[in-house]
């Protein structure tokens, strides 16, 4: 019964999306049409219905309703409750339902709270949002119904892939999806602005919080995903340039560029066409990512060709929406008047360089991700991995960091180098000093060396914009920018330090053996069996000490799950301020010794601290913008009231 | 008759080439490092750029798959025998095809990977020069 309610709510939501689409676009043609009043309620109600539908699916998973096919194939009655719940979106159908629910919630929210923009433009925006939603409703309802029943009902479910039975997976996909789909709002705003020829600073100010919020979620989602891969896969890697990772990185790169160009448009009324273009591209990258991950094309192009139903469906949606938006852009771009002018040496100039570099990195990641798929279609298999992505993206990334260091100190419109000469010299000296220091003290590769040097420079530079300001009166968005840029330096430092200085020890050990890795000394005490709710494991007991310091315990496990069968490595992580010791237990060798893998990873944690700082900076900026908007609005309301009172006084 | 069938089944159960291979003990260098740190560093760097053919998007340095273990053993053994990383890579490519290497080389099938970034670089440069250069000129005038 609950499943049927979920399905019915989804169909109703789809019907409302069609209504919103038609009424919205009618409203663009004729603002006084009777249907216009229905657009906002349709969007809000749709959000409610989707929430009900998603709730129904989560409920079916919570009670392990095995008559629902999706539950039977992806859950198991013995699973811990947290993983039963997260199992609802750890599969194709459920994740698509999550996608459309987030999209409906975002659409409902703009319908509810966004009242600043001209009415026609809002109608176009909500119409565009509904237009995208309709495609995804059709996709779910026709090819991926999550509520399909199963008869006869099986005795128990198949269970969830053990790798996914982890708290990381409970939060990673929803965070990432909120980010992905939040960008649909930017897309709809861009389409709305194009349709009604309304590319203005007001449009950018309305769109900016949405881009910012999506970008924060994407940042957290990517950082969480990377940390999950780091501790769950058991080999200490945190970024693989794997197509699935790239699928989440590409929208982030586009959103980062969009964020910066929207700021230029909002503050200076420049970069109009460019901002619109990025708005279209950002969500296009989200859809492309969904296509890559959900169509099965990554496993094999040929597997995709054999069972192409879902894949082709998304591909058609992708072609329609991206193609449609680009055609609209091509038709309307020339009607957008050129924005305000600015000099090369100005805040805008720096942001243009930043945008071009980010777009170039995006293009490279896109190329490296899609090219192997393209050649595979012609039966030529090539692999593109870190040896390609690292240096090629660094060509654009390093100059971008140089601009990142200097740009925020520049004034809008036009500036002179003399004004910022001192801070630039300081930054350059710090960077070169770090470069020389590392070069003399150690023998590491060129990329990590450049990484460490620029990280130092950017770290100093990120707080330079606060120079000469009253810190208490500095607006929150400026603080946000400084914190986020500092986060970039911190993350870069972590990446470079781990790449350059990590130490690895792979040994076969028996109880009593002492293993040294970097400054750590680990003593293997014993290996004993332990059991959990749906797994058994061999657990290693080690005593480790850093540089002769106090002993700490480490308990890495090699787990075996039985429903479904699978093995995972639960690594032991010992965190210090300056890095992590990573201990993984492997199999027993023939002679009864145990395989142990230990890594000393100096400053590796700074990668994710940096990611969180970037997201935190975004939150500060968002908070500042929202507070600013609320203040402005209440000031307007007060002005209005005063005017009415004065009019009344005058009349009496 | 029934007895013969059961016997046949028993024999079939014993002959399971795939899983038998998986249960074989891993080759010595699959989970053990080389003694010489310099050679091990070479091997490590190389292993991070070789694809585990049985996994989805993992290098052989990041995988528990038995085949990745065998390949790690091959890499370490050959490096220890004095081969250069490039020779080992070439040998693996001759055996498994270009697909095994994450480091694409310029060839008839991969040239767009290298030409497009250069085009991109030129394009980015032109955009910046034109947009910003024009503005500077306009402002000066």
A73-125 confidence digits (pLDDT tens): 888 888 888 888 888 888 889 999 999 999 999 999 999 988 888 889 999 99
Per-residue pLDDT of A327-350, as tens digits, reads 999 998 888 877 787 888 889 889
When pLDDT is cut at 50, 70 and 90, the band that residue B11 belongs to is very low
B chain contacts of residue A293, beta-carbon cutoff 8 Å: none
pLDDT of B139 > 60? The answer is no
pLDDT confidence of residue B21:
44
Confidence band, pLDDT 50/70/90 cuts, at residue A432: very high
Q: Please report the pLDDT score of residue A305 as a whole number.
A: 58
pLDDT tens per residue across span A269-285: 988 999 999 999 999 99
Q: Up-side HSE of residue A218: CA atoms within 13 Å toward CB?
A: 29
Show the tokens assigned to A539: 């657990």
Q: Nearest CB to B131: which of A352, A359, A506? A: A352
The yes-or-no verdict on residue A609 having pLDDT over 80 is: yes
pLDDT at A637 over 90: no
pLDDT at position A207: 93
Q: Which of A79-93, A176-190, A298-312, A532-546 has the lowest mean pLDDT?
A: A298-312
Q: Which chain A residues are Cβ-neighbours of B131 within 8 angstroms?
A: 352
Residue B14 confidence class, pLDDT cut points 50, 70, 90 = very low
pLDDT at position A425, please?
95
Interface contact B102-A383, CB threshold 8 A: yes
pLDDT given for residue B132 in this prediction? 65
Instruction: Categorize the per-residue pLDDT at B26 as very low, low, confident or very high, splitting at 50, 70 and 90.
Output: low
The average pLDDT across A202-222 equals 94
Lookup result for tokens 């020389």: A436
CA atoms within 13 A on the CB side of B21: 7
C-alpha dist (Å) from residue A253 to A397, A408, A421, A640? 11, 19, 30, 42
Higher-pLDDT residue of B55 and A430 is A430
DSSP string, A300-345: -HHHHHHS-HHHHHHHHHHHHHHHHHHHHHHHHGGGSPP-----SS
Q: Is the confidence metric ipTM above 0.85 for this complex?
A: no
CB distance A365 to A253 below 8 Å: yes
Q: How far is B62 from chain A (nearest CA, A)?
A: 5
Interface probe with B: pick from A243, A253, A299, A344, most Cβ of B within 10 Å: A344
CB contact under 8 Å between B31 and A352, yes or no, is: no
pLDDT of residue B130: 76
- For an interface test with A, the pick among B102, B111, B119, B128 (most A C-beta atoms closer than 10 Å) comes out as B102
Given pLDDT bands bounded at 50, 70 and 90, which one contains residue B30? Answer: confident
Percent of all residues in chain A with a pLDDT value above 90, rounded to a whole number: 61
- The third-level CATH classification (topology) of the domain covering B26-104 is Helicase, Ruva Protein; domain 3 (1.10.8)
Contact criterion met (CB < 8 Å) for B99 and A589: no
Q: Across the interface, which of A383, A586, A589 has its CB nearest the CB of B101?
A: A383
Residue of chain A whose alpha carbon sits nearest to that of B127: A356
| Cβ-defined contact of A567 to B61 (cutoff 8 Å) | no
Identify all chain A residues contacting B102, using CB atoms and an 8 Å cutoff. 383-388
Residue B3 has pLDDT above 70, yes or no: no
Residue numbers of B between 82 and 111 with CB closer than 8 Å to A? 97-104, 109-110
Determine the pLDDT at residue A350.
92
- Report phi then psi at A541, rounded to 5: -115, 115
pLDDT band, very low/low/confident/very high, at B138 (cuts 50, 70, 90): low
Distance from CA of B38 to the nearest CA of A (A): 12
Please give the residue of chain A at the shortest CA–CA distance from B137. A343
- Partners of residue B16 on adjacent β-strands: none
Q: Is the pLDDT of residue B19 over 50?
A: no
Looking from the CA of A620 toward its CB, the CA atoms found within 13 Å total 18
Is B117 in Cβ contact with A395 (below 8 Å)?
Answer: yes
Give strand pairing partners of A539: A528, A557
Q: What is the pTM of this model?
A: 0.92
Distance from CA of A397 to the nearest CA of B (A): 12
Tell me the C-alpha distance between A91 and A86, whole Å.
10
Question: What pLDDT shows up at residue A313?
Answer: 86
- Computed over every residue of chain B, the mean pLDDT equals 78
Residue A530 has pLDDT above 90, yes or no: yes
Q: What is the mean pLDDT of residues A136-140?
A: 94
Residue B10 has pLDDT above 50, yes or no: no
Peptide bond into A623 cis (omega under 30): no
Q: How many helices (H) and strands (E) does chain A have?
A: 18, 10
Q: Residue B128 above 90 pLDDT? A: no
Q: What is the pLDDT of residue A632?
A: 86
pLDDT band (50, 70, 90) for residue A302: low
Enumerate the residues of chain A whose CB falls inside 8 A of the CB of residue B98. 380-383
Mean pLDDT of the A218-234 span? 91
Q: Spell out the domain ranges in chain B.
A: 26-104, 106-141
pLDDT of amino acid B15: 42
pLDDT band at A469 (very low <50, low <70, confident <90, very high): confident
Calculate the CA A204 to chain-centre distance.
21
Q: List the single residue in B31, B49, B103 with the smallest CB-CB distance to A506.
A: B31
pLDDT at res. B25: 62
What residues does A528 pair with on adjacent strands? A539
Condensed to tens digits (0 to 9), the pLDDT of residues B75-116 reads: 999 999 999 999 999 999 999 988 899 998 888 888 889 998
Which position has the higher pLDDT, A159 or A102?
A: A102
Cα distance between residue A247 and residue A207, in whole Å: 23
Residue A311 has pLDDT above 90, yes or no: no
Structure tokens at A521: 């000394």
Q: Which residues in chain A have their CB less than 8 angstroms from residue B103's CB?
A: 385, 387-388
* Least confident residue range of A295-309, A499-513, B30-44, B66-80: A295-309
CA distance B10 to chain A (A): 24
Using one digit for the tens of pLDDT, what is the confidence trace for A571-598? 999 999 999 999 999 888 778 889 899 9
Can you give the pLDDT at residue B133?
62
Query: Looking at residues A154-161, what average pLDDT do you find?
Result: 79
B113 and A CB contact within 8 Å: yes
- Are A430 and A456 spatial neighbours (Cβ–Cβ below 8 Å)? yes
When pLDDT is cut at 50, 70 and 90, the band that residue B135 belongs to is low
């Amino acid at each position: 019964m609950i499943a049927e309610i979920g399905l019915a709510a989804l169909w109703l939501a789809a019907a409302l999306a069609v209504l919103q689409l038609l009424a919205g676009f009618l409203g663009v043609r004729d603002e006084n049409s009777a249907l216009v009043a229905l657009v906002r309620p349709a969007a809000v109600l749709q959000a409610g219905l989707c929430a009900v539908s998603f709730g129904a699916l989560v409920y079916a998973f919570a009670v392990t309703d095995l008559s629902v096919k999706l539950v039977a194939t992806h859950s198991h009655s013995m699973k811990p409750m947290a993983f039963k719940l997260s199992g609802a979106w750890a599969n194709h159908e459920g994740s698509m339902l999550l996608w459309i629910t987030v999209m409906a919630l975002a659409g409902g929210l703009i319908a509810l709270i966004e009242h600043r923009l001209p009415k026609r433009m809002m109608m176009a925006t909500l119409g565009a949002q509904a237009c995208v939603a309709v495609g995804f409703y059709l996709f779910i309802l026709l090819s991926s119904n999550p509520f399909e029943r199963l008869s006869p009902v099986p005795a128990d479910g198949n269970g969830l892939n053990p790798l996914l039975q982890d708290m990381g997976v409970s939060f990673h996909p929803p965070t990432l999806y909120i980010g992905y789909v939040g960008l649909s709002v930017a897309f709809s705003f861009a389409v709305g602005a194009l349709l009604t020829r309304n590319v203005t600073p007001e449009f950018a100010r309305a769109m900016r919080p949405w881009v910012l919020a999506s970008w924060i979620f994407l940042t957290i989602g990517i950082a969480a995903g990377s940390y999950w891969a780091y501790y769950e896969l058991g080999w200490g890697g945190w970024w693989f340039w794997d197509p699935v990772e790239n699928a989440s990185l590409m929208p982030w790169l586009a959103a980062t560029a969009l964020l910066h160009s929207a700021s230029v448009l909002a503050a200076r009324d420049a970069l109009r066409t460019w901002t619109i273009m990025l708005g279209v591209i950002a969500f296009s990258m989200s859809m492309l990512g969904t296509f890559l991950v959900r169509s099965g094309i990554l496993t094999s192009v040929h597997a995709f060709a054999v069972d192409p139903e879902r894949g082709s469906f998304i591909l058609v949606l992708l072609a329609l929406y991206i193609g449609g938006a680009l055609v609209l852009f091509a038709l309307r771009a020339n009607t957008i008047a050129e924005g305000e002018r600015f000099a090369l040496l100005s805040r805008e100039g720096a942001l243009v360089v930043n945008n071009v570099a980010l777009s170039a990195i995006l293009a490279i990641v896109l190329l490296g991700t899609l090219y192997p798929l393209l050649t595979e279609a012609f039966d030529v298999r090539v692999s593109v991995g870190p040896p390609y992505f690292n240096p090629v993206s660094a060509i654009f990334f390093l100059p971008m960091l140089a601009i990142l260091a200097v740009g925020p100190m520049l004034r809008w419109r036009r500036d002179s180098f003399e004004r910022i000469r001192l801070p630039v010299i300081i930054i350059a000296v710090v960077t070169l000093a770090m470069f020389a220091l590392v070069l003399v003290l150690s023998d590491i590769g060129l990329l990590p060396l450049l990484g460490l040097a620029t990280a130092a420079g950017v770290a100093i530079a990120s707080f330079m914009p606060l120079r000469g300001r009253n810190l208490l009166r500095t607006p929150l968005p400026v603080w946000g920018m400084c914190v986020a840029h500092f986060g970039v330096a911190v993350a870069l430092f972590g990446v470079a330090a781990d790449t350059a200085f990590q130490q690895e020890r792979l040994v076969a050990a028996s109880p009593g053996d002492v293993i040294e890795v970097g400054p750590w000394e680990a003593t293997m005490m014993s290996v004993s069996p332990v059991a959990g709710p749906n797994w058994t494991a061999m657990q290693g007991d080690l005593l480790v000490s850093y540089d002769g310091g106090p002993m700490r315990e480490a308990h890495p496990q090699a787990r075996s799950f039985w429903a479904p069968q699978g093995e995972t490595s639960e690594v032991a992580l010992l965190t210090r301020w300056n890095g992590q010791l990573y201990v993984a237990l492997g199999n027993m060798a023939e002679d009864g010794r145990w395989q142990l893998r230990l890594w000393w990873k100096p400053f590796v944690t700074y990668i994710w601290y940096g990611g969180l700082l970037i997201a935190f900076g975004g939150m500060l900026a968002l908070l500042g913008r929202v507070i600013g908007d609320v203040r402005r609005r209440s000031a307007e309301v007060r002005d209005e009231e005063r005017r009415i009172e004065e009019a009344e006084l005058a009349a009496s | 008759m029934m007895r013969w069938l059961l016997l046949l089944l028993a024999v079939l159960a014993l002959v399971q080439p795939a899983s038998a291979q998986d249960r074989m003990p891993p080759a010595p260098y699959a989970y053990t490092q080389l003694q010489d740190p310099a050679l091990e560093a070479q091997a490590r760097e190389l292993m991070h750029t070789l694809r585990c053919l049985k996994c989805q998007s993992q290098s052989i340095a990041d995988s528990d798959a038995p085949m990745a273990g065998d390949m790690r053993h091959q890499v370490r053994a050959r490096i220890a025998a004095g081969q250069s990383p490039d020779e080992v890579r070439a040998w693996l490519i001759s055996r498994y095809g270009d697909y095994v290497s994450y480091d694409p080389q310029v060839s008839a099938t991969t040239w767009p990977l290298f030409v497009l970034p250069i085009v991109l670089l030129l394009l980015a440069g032109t955009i910046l020069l034109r947009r910003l250069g024009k503005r500077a000129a306009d402002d000066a005038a």
